[in-house]
Amino acid sequence: MHRASIAMTLPLARYRLDFTVSTPLTLPAFAGSTLRGAFGGALRASACMTKAKVCDGCPLLASCPYAVVFEPRPPSAGHPLQDFSQIPRAYVIEPPQWGERSYAPGETLSFHIVLAGRVVEQLPLILWAFHKGFQRGVGRGDGTASLTAVWHVVGDEAAQVLATPGGHIAAHEALVPAAAPLAGDTVTLHFDSPLRLQTNGRRATAEEFTPRKLLTTLIRRIALIHEFHGAAPLALDFKALAAQAETLGSDKCLQWRDWTRYSSRQRQKMDLGGVVGSWRLSGELTPFLPFLHLGQWLHVGKEPTFGLGGYKLQTD
C-alpha cells in the first residue's frame, strides 16, 4: 500500500507546546507519565458533564470528548485482529529529553504532542486541558506554568505558530510530510525513548526483539488507529506482511534503560524500562516503509501515549 493511501486518510500532526513557568517546577527523568497524568485529570474535569466518578455506564459516553481522547472504548463485537480490552489512544505525548530537570519562574518548558485521526478535531480542548493541568500543578512540588504558544511542527521544524494566549487556533493541514525514498535495502531506527515489546502479555526477551515482532507491532498499532480513529480499516494482508518481515536482516545496537513510575491507580511502582539505541533492518523493505515512516509520529510498542517507543528513521 502506498504511503499516501494511509496518510491522506489519517489526519496526523505534531505540536510543540511552550509553557512559561510561574512557580518552581521539577520534572522526573522521563516526564511522559507525569505530563499525561496532569493532562488526563484536567481533560476529564473540563469535558465531563455528569461528574461521575467513572465513565462506565455514562449515558453521554458515546459523544464525550474525554472518552474519545483519553479512554476510547473497544468494539463490543469480535474483531479479526484480536480481542480488545482497550483500543489504541490516538495521541502521543513526547516529553523533554531524558534527564530530571528543574525550571525556575520565567523559564520556558517545551514538549510535543502528536494527534491522529478524529482526535485532531479536539485540539482546542486538549490545549485547554494542558493549560489547566499546568495551572493546577505538575511534577514534584506541583510547580505551575502557563501555556504561552503552540506550534505546528512539520518535519523537524516548528513551522507555524498556531495559538497564543487569548488567540484563535490558526488553520493548518494535519498531514505528515512525504517519506524519503529508500536509497538501498537498509533502514535504521534510532530509538530516543525506551522501546518495550511484549509477547503473550509479558515483556519480550532480547531474543524476541525480531524484525517480525517490531514490524507486526507497529503495523497493528497504525492499522487500529486508522480503523477506530480514522476513516476505515486498512486493506492489509497481515499474514503476508508478517512472513515478509521474517526474511529481513537485523543488526541491533540497543541498551537497556531503566525507568519506573508510580501508578496511582494500581498504587504501586511499575518498571517501565526499555531499550534505546539503533536497530538496522535490511532486505525487501518497500512494504514496510509507509508504516516505518508514520511510526515516527505514532511510536511503537507499549505505552506510546507516555512517549515510549519514539524513534527517527534513517533511510540511507
Residue 184 and residue 255 in one domain = yes
Same structural domain for residues 149 and 198? Answer: no
Predicted confidence band at 267 (pLDDT cuts at 50, 70, 90)? low
pLDDT at residue 165, as a whole number: 72
Q: Give the three-class secondary structure for 185.
A: coil
Same domain for 129 and 259, yes or no, is: no
Task: Render pLDDT for 275-303 as a digit per residue (tens, 0 to 9).
Answer: 999 999 999 999 999 999 999 999 999 99
Mean pLDDT across the chain: 89
- Among the listed ranges 57-71, 94-108, 151-165, which one has the minimum average pLDDT value? 151-165
CA distance 101 to 96: 9
Does the structure show a pLDDT above 70 at 158? no
CB 217 within 8 A of CB 301: yes
pLDDT greater at residue 262 or residue 105: 105
| Domain boundaries, position 266 | 3-10+176-314
Last residue of a domain, one of 104, 131, 163: 163
Domain membership of residue 44 (yes or no) is yes
Domain CATH number, residue 186: 3.30.70.1900
* pLDDT above 70 for 2: no
For residue 220, give Cα distances in angstroms to 95, 241, 283, 298.
24, 11, 21, 12
Residues 106 and 203 in one domain: no
Per the structure, the count of domains in the chain is 2
Residue 171 lies in a domain: no
Q: Is the residue at 149 inside a domain?
A: yes
Set of cell numbers at residue 211: 524484525
pLDDT single digits (tens) 160-208? 788 777 778 988 989 888 888 888 899 999 999 999 998 887 888 778 8
pLDDT recorded at residue 191 = 97
> 130, 163, 196 — which closes off a domain?
163
Answer yes or no: do 121 and 24 share one domain. Answer: yes
The answer on 182 and 154 residing in a single domain is: no
Determine contact, residues 308/95, Cβ cutoff 8 Å: no
Question: Pick the residue with more confidence: 53 or 239?
Answer: 239
**In percent, how much of the chain has pLDDT > 90?**
65
CATH number at residue 31: 3.30.70
Mean pLDDT, rounded, for 141-166: 85
Res 262: pLDDT: 63
Does 187 lie in the same domain as 127? Answer: no
